[in-house]
Amino acid sequence: MATDFSSIPMIDISSLLAKADDPKMAENPGVLEVVRQLDKACTEAGFFYVKGHGIPDTLLKVVKDVTRRFFELPYEEKAKIKMTPATGYRGYQRIGENITKDVPDMHEAIDCYREVTRGMYGDLGKVMEGSNQWYTEMGFFFLLMPIPVLIYYLIYDSDILAFDSLHLRVESINIQKMSFFPKIMLKSFGTDVWFLRLSFWGSPCRPQNPPTCKIIMEEYISLCTELARKIMRGIALALGGSPDEFEGRRAGDPFWVMRLIGYPGVSTVNATDVLKNDIGCGAHTDYGLLTLLNQDDDINALQVKNLSGEWISAPPVPGSFVCNIGDMLKIYSNGLYESTFHRVINNSPKYRVSVVYFYETNFDTAVEPLDTHKTKANGNKKFGRPLYGEHLTRKVLTNFVFE
């Protein structure tokens, strides 16, 4: 139940993450303090920032940089991974194709979902069957020092050290943070590898030739999934339950959604894209449990609606995520936590990029209020038992218009 909040609270979750899988986490003073802050934020605003989340700042920047480079391409190139019903609603949508309450949203995006194989969820998952479409950024890598082995798809945790002209870059890589590198390399060559990268954008990715973009995004998704799982363990405690309330049959096999979004600034609109209004994304709530927003550090565009109907700014805080709860967590909390309306209006002259990760329940889970003392104290069960997969599919089928 949102209140007349006037700002979005910041929560340092490092103490929670350090003990998130400890059987005695509920007895730890540091964890309990984070849980108290989560409960307050979810009750009063439904939104909060998190710091101390453990995902490197460099990776937060890289995923936005890769996204921005894609949106800078001509439409003809972006359309090679165009979203259609045949792709399971995965892929690129141009400005105005996403609809909120019958109004076109002034953003472009790539939509990604946890991949659903044929028959995985029977008829329930048929609409969502498909694989994600990643646009290939091919590259030639020339090691300058040392020459340990053939480098395996590199951008992750990179710092541009020299120049960026015609996609020619000198970069350094900290391979200690790259999970797909053999650990023996660290002993033989240290943690830093220098190389020259000549890159260019190519055709949609093929399974036999996974691109840099795919590697980066899948690593990012994996880290966000683990981060969200641990935050949800804190929220479970905040609701008066055990830490694993949202595991097992509820979210032990979580679905996820990720949107890579570009919001044109007032001076960055292409001739082929005419802005019909100033709403980058119309007022809406999110579908699932928990959202992690990674937004540009220098553009203030996100707004959150409080109980009085005022739109409260959620300005970017470098190195943090903006988090908010979704419709399914509202139901699990029996309405104690509100999935708050929010919107995006980019009045800046600059193009804004955001990467939004949504942590969901199991796809085939029937969602109903938890049986905890806090949800019981909030009155009789106020909601039915929606199937998450049906809820998501219904939203997806009404969200888009295609040329």
* DSSP designation for 261: E
* Sequence-separated (6 or more) residues with CB below 8 Å from residue 23: none
- Do the Cβ atoms of 350 and 265 come closer than 8 Å? yes
| SS3 label, residue 65 | helix
Query: What count of residues does the chain have?
Result: 403
The closest of 373, 124, 395 to 259, measured between CA atoms, is 395
Element housing 303 (H / E): strand 302-305
Please tell me the pTM assigned to this model: 0.83
pLDDT in tens, the chain (403 residues): 567 899 999 999 999 999 999 999 999 999 999 999 999 999 999 999 999 999 999 999 989 998 999 999 999 999 999 999 999 999 999 999 999 888 899 999 999 999 999 999 999 999 999 999 987 654 433 333 333 333 433 443 333 332 232 333 333 344 444 443 333 333 333 333 333 333 333 333 333 333 467 888 999 999 999 999 999 999 999 999 999 999 999 999 999 999 999 999 975 555 455 455 678 999 999 999 999 999 999 999 999 999 999 999 999 999 999 999 999 999 999 999 999 999 999 999 999 999 999 999 999 999 999 999 889 888 888 998 999 999 999 999 998 887 6
**E strands present in 146-279:** 158-160, 168-174, 192-204, 256-263
Burial class (CB in 10 A: 0-12, 13-18, 19+), 298: exposed
Could you give the CA distance from residue 60 to residue 45 in angstroms, rounded to a whole number? 25
Task: Read off φ and ψ for residue 158, nearest 5 degrees.
Answer: -105, 150
- Do the Cβ atoms of 115 and 130 come closer than 8 Å? yes
Residue with tokens 């309330």: 245
Task: Read off φ and ψ for residue 194, nearest 5 degrees.
Answer: -110, 140
